[in-house]
Amino acid sequence: MIEDFLLDMEDSSGPMWLKAWRCMNCGNIYERVLQQNRLAKEAQMGAPTAIVPHASAERLPLGADGLEQLAA
């Protein structure tokens, strides 16, 4: 996670820049107000709004056997 600054394009009542945390792996953004809105939407819908990985996701070999050698 890294600290990031987001520009609020719609709300002109407060500061335009928001300080948030962004995941370097997936790009998910964590910010207090965004998290509260996500939780409120989850409660309305009765379902999680977060992306949940599928249990039968395809697995790729990470060893050298799974790599193809390319000519220069």
Q: Tens digit of pLDDT for each residue in 13-47?
A: 766 788 899 999 998 888 888 888 888 988 888 76
Question: How much is the pTM?
Answer: 0.49
Domain map (residue ranges) of the chain: 2-50
Strands 17-22 and 2-7: antiparallel
With bands split at pLDDT 50, 70 and 90, how would you rate the model's confidence at 62?
Answer: low
Q: Which residue has the higher pLDDT, 58 or 29?
A: 29
Contact 53, 59 (CB under 8 A): no
Helical residues (DSSP H) of 5-70, grouped into ranges = 32-45
State percent of the chain over pLDDT 70: 57
Q: How far apart are CA 28 and CA 56, in angstroms?
A: 22
Q: How far apart are CA 23 and CA 5, in angstroms?
A: 13
